Structure 1
């Protein structure tokens, strides 16, 4: 009997082991089957991104003969097509491949922007009208003199005139596809920033040199008084010419507050040497040179043509009246934007320039400093 019991125990152990092994194998088969696509709704292709998206779509998996409506399948990842032409994007394309992607620096590298400083020295105000008017003195006959008691007093004369500065609009627009805005979200901000700079660039040119025709501002230089020195300087340099111009502007009895020069002219002035080949400026060439001449700030800008200067009472002799600050608007409701899936970016400002004392501004040419010879 002991042998029979041992045999039964051995058979039971083998059965248990076999059953456990079969259970493990069945479980593994079930797991593998679960990982396989069902295949009853689509024959997949692992190399096809659309096929992969369809295989992953719950809407497609739930389709049946009873289905009515629509199923939405979204392609995830970097699969959006940018159809913009080279006129916008340029001929440059990424040299990276799917295996070795290029190192992409974030953002867009934009050209360096000119420093716009003219507004810093000009008085400013606001207006709610489409023009700015001011009464100005047209003539003054001053007959004041000492008189004898009881005699008739001399009569003086004053005449006035009305001057007007219209509010002008400076604006431009950009066209951007909706796809570009979706694919490059930073593009809208970049266009707004560069478009604003372009607007202010033209504004500074207009304030300085606008000829007043058509929709142009009547700038300061065209209204300024021509340089006519009151004395002849010995061994005249451009420093002397600027000093003479300041004196001429001071005849208007308004405090002169700035000098406008081209950047190249300012640099050439810094390099002027005396008869012993020593720099006139104590800070040249290694020290920090303050942008001042004759105790007045120098506005060095390429908006002023090389070889010319402007000196004057910018704070009290001229005023910028802002009607509309720089505004950036995006709209899809423009022309055929809806049909073409485009967006229009409009950037504009409105302002008037009042030059109330043209005699407080003196403009002229510099001497040999811009001739290219020393």
Structure 2
């Protein structure tokens, strides 16, 4: 920097050189610029202070408090989710089968959906299943009237008549399974001798024998494959399929509860069913007993264990035959066809289930006599990463659940075979009893049987004429015979005849 002092001047000017050697602005100009910049800085500081005037002094403490509030809100949201799950489990069965309830009950499905959505933004749009082989593929080509179906897809979930309430498994108390093995405390013998005992005398000892039954927790599962095009063109198809698959799993669960599970060689037993040997007692059936008589005997034999039966389980076909039983004047014994009648027999509610074999019955306290373990309820999962789904543009929809179950109070359960159900034909009427022939009338379509000392000596089908004829007479002189008619498995009362003299 060079400074030059001019003694003859009235004012003193100081000049400076810049880095390149040129003459820089004088100090007066720099001073003006500095004052301007200071004014701008003051205005900026004032503006910033104005913007921060509402910020608390203890900013760090305030941020920490806000973080705790956020954690509290997250906890409340989690509690709401849990409450929704519990509410869904308490819904009526038909309400539990809609897609919203399925997603609420199966939080894993929601998590899977989140994963699928997140991954769809990167590489793929699903999770992987290994070792799944196709059983059935649903495509638009496989759906008749696909144009009409696509237009009416919004109504597809309205077809609820294809499934029914599964009341059997709804009556059972299901316990969460915490391992791959389920242990059941099974009561085999109970003999209670409690009573009023005088002072200084010994008290009686009751007998209560318990056994431990060990079963494995197994998986019930099935799946279908659906084309992406079908899912795209029919928006409600996925909801319908998921609902039906979940129902199919629960239907199979009910089957195992009733009939039990027979494992293949080398596999573990999962379910011990109501109708399996040693899981129930029986009643004595007289040859004249009807199905209604047998159910009455079963009710009171079950009640003899001091545990009142809460249901009778029948096949729908058997219950239908019972409902159609008519009195001698033609009226229906179990009410008018148009009346809304709750299925009840001998004061005990009737549950009819297709899983109960035709001709069989079960009676007892189902809610106490059967115990089940569930590792999870029905889970629905969809995936494109299954085999060659990607190249074939398919989606695999899988439904599965883990569970086990067994009878724990076999003495309180009564089961067995029902006699033929319905109205027995009228007893045959004998009009001719000679050595040459035995004739009479009987119900059309029935089979007339002539029995001597328990041995059938004549059998004949009655035609449209309503008449029967045996020639010669199969009953020997002096022998006493019983003539009966059998129709639809029901046998009439017998007509007694004595063999004629020659």
Same fold (TM > 0.5): yes
User: Which residue does 2:151 correspond to in 1?
Assistant: 104
Consecutive unaligned residues of structure 2, counting only runs of 5 or more, are 1-135, 423-486, 491-502
Find out whether 1:121 has 2:171 as its counterpart. yes
Find out whether 1:367 has 2:389 as its counterpart. no
In the aligned structure 2, how far is the partner of 1:257 from the partner of 1:88? 47
In the aligned structure 1, how far is the partner of 2:214 from the partner of 2:138? 47
In the aligned structure 2, how far is the partner of 1:341 from the partner of 1:189? 19
Superposed CA RMSD in Å reads 3.7
Deviations 1:265-319 (A, max 9, x none): 11211222233444323x2233332211111110012221221111111011112
In the aligned structure 2, how far is the partner of 1:276 from the partner of 1:306? 28
Give the stretch that moved more between structures: 120-129 or 145-154.
Answer: 145-154
User: Which residue does 2:461 correspond to in 1?
Assistant: none
Aligned residues: 283
User: Which residue does 1:330 correspond to in 2?
Assistant: 382
Deviations 1:86-109 (A, max 9, x none): 97732735689xxxxx99323447
User: Which residue does 2:51 correspond to in 1?
Assistant: none
In the aligned structure 2, how far is the partner of 1:254 from the partner of 1:323? 29
In the aligned structure 1, how far is the partner of 2:138 from the partner of 2:175? 44
User: Which residue does 2:238 correspond to in 1?
Assistant: 188
State the Cα distance separating 1:196 from its structure 2 match: 1.1
In the aligned structure 1, how far is the partner of 2:253 from the partner of 2:192? 40
Q: What SS does the corresponding residue of 2:296 show, helix, strand or coil?
A: helix
State the Cα distance separating 1:130 from its structure 2 match: 1.8
Task: Assess, with a 3 A threshold, how the Cα gap between structure 1 residues 194 and 91 changes in structure 2: closer, same or farther.
Answer: closer
Alpha carbons 1:121, 1:258 under 8 Å: kept? no
Query: Which of 337, 345, 349 is the aligned partner of 1:285?
Result: 337
Alpha carbons 2:137, 2:225 under 8 Å: kept? no
Query: Which of 410, 415, 418 is the aligned partner of 1:358?
Result: 410
User: Which residue does 1:131 correspond to in 2?
Assistant: 181
Q: Which has the larger radius of gyration?
A: 2
State the Cα distance separating 1:324 from its structure 2 match: 0.8
After TM superposition, list the pairs within 5 Å mapping 1:1-374 onto structure 2.
89-90=141-142, 92-93=144-145, 104-107=151-154, 108=156, 112-137=162-187, 160-214=210-264, 217-223=271-277, 224-229=279-284, 236-281=289-334, 283-369=335-421, 372=488
In the aligned structure 2, how far is the partner of 1:280 from the partner of 1:93? 45
Task: Assess, with a 3 A threshold, how the Cα gap between structure 1 residues 142 and 321 changes in structure 2: closer, same or farther.
Answer: closer
State the Cα distance separating 1:174 from its structure 2 match: 2.0
Task: Assess, with a 3 A threshold, how the Cα gap between structure 1 residues 176 and 310 changes in structure 2: closer, same or farther.
Answer: same
Alpha carbons 1:271, 1:284 under 8 Å: kept? no
Alpha carbons 1:212, 1:219 under 8 Å: kept? no
Alpha carbons 2:371, 2:407 under 8 Å: kept? yes
Task: Assess, with a 3 A threshold, how the Cα gap between structure 1 residues 152 and 343 changes in structure 2: closer, same or farther.
Answer: closer
State the Cα distance separating 1:364 from its structure 2 match: 1.1
Alpha carbons 2:139, 2:230 under 8 Å: kept? no
Q: What SS does the corresponding residue of 1:220 show, helix, strand or coil?
A: coil
Deviations 1:56-112 (A, max 9, x none): xxxxxxxxxxxxxxxxxxxxxxxxxxxx9997732735689xxxxx99323447572
Give the stretch that moved more between structures: 188-197 or 218-227.
Answer: 218-227
State the Cα distance separating 1:154 from its structure 2 match: 8.8
Task: Assess, with a 3 A threshold, how the Cα gap between structure 1 residues 338 and 276 changes in structure 2: closer, same or farther.
Answer: closer
Consecutive unaligned residues of structure 1, counting only runs of 5 or more, are 1-83, 97-101
Deviations 1:233-274 (A, max 9, x none): 9x5321110010112222333221100011121121122223
In the aligned structure 1, how far is the partner of 2:198 from the partner of 2:349? 50
User: Which residue does 2:27 correspond to in 1?
Assistant: none
Give the stretch that moved more between structures: 141-150 or 294-303.
Answer: 141-150
